């Protein structure tokens, strides 16, 4: 399988809700392997498909020595909260304290289409919530209070990796039949 480039903050795929997986086929198994390889190489505690440019509801995690994945997740969150440091592979070198549910019950499917239930607390709960947010186009920055978000955005704008130039949008000279600008 292959290590894929990780999309960085500013890429529109990170702000787009991912589509439900309907085909549990070889392509999905390859995607899960690519996500796992990329996450472990980075290294990270989790990686969602949109972070490698794939708009499907799939993510992997690596917490406390355990590697796992979940397809089409739905979450039941505890009322008890945890507040602690969180970062993101799509926002390199940035860590801020973020509030999350203390524990989670995540339901979904394996890459083979088998029903899966994952129960976790602390770091596993944080990772599952973080990656599920990615599938909904939400970044952990969105969960910060106003002052922390402002500080984080300042740090991002000053980061070497952050693109200071906006990409050029080109309009097709051909008729797009309503499918473009």
Residues in CB range of 95: below 8 A, 6 or more apart? 85, 86, 87
Q: Which two tokens stand for residue 67?
A: 């590697």
Q: Is residue 168 part of a domain?
A: no
Q: Is residue 171 part of a domain?
A: no
Tally of domains in the chain = 1
H/E element holding 107? strand 103-109
* Helices and strands in the chain, H and E counts: 3, 7
Q: Is residue 178 part of a domain?
A: no
Whether 53 and 7 have beta carbons less than 8 Å apart is answered as: yes
Q: Is residue 78 part of a domain?
A: yes
| pLDDT above 90: percentage of residues in the chain | 84
Question: Which CATH number does the domain housing residue 104 bear?
Answer: 3.90.45.10
Name the pLDDT band for 162 (thresholds 50, 70, 90): confident
Name the pLDDT band for 163 (thresholds 50, 70, 90): low
What does pTM read for this prediction?
0.87
Q: Is residue 5 part of a domain?
A: no
Q: Which domain holds residue 64?
A: 12-158
Q: Is residue 7 part of a domain?
A: no
- The whole-number pLDDT of residue 180 equals 47
Mean pLDDT, range 121-130, rounded to an integer: 96
Q: Is residue 166 part of a domain?
A: no
Q: Is residue 174 part of a domain?
A: no
Mean pLDDT, range 7-29, rounded to an integer: 94
Q: Which residues are catalytic?
A: 131
First and final CA of the chain: distance in angstroms?
A: 37
């Amino acid at each position: 399988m292959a290590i894929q480039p990780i999309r960085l903050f500013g890429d529109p795929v990170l702000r787009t809700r991912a589509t439900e997986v309907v085909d549990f086929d070889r392509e999905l198994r390859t995607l899960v392997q690519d996500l796992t390889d990329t996450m472990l190489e980075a290294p990270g505690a989790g990686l969602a498909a949109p972070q490698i440019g794939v708009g499907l509801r799939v993510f992997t995690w690596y917490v406390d020595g355990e590697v796992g994945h979940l397809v089409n997740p739905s979450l039941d969150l505890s009322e008890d909260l945890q507040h602690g440091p969180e970062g993101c592979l799509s926002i390199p070198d940035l860590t801020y304290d973020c509030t999350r549910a203390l524990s989670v019950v995540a339901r979904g499917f394996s890459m083979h289409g088998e029903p899966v239930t994952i129960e976790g607390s602390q770091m596993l709960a944080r990772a599952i919530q973080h990656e599920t947010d990615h599938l909904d186009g939400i970044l952990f920055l969105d969960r910060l209070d106003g002052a922390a978000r402002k500080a984080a955005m300042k740090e991002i704008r000053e980061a070497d990796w952050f693109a200071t130039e906006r990409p050029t949008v080109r309009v097709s000279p051909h008729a797009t039949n309503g499918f473009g600008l």
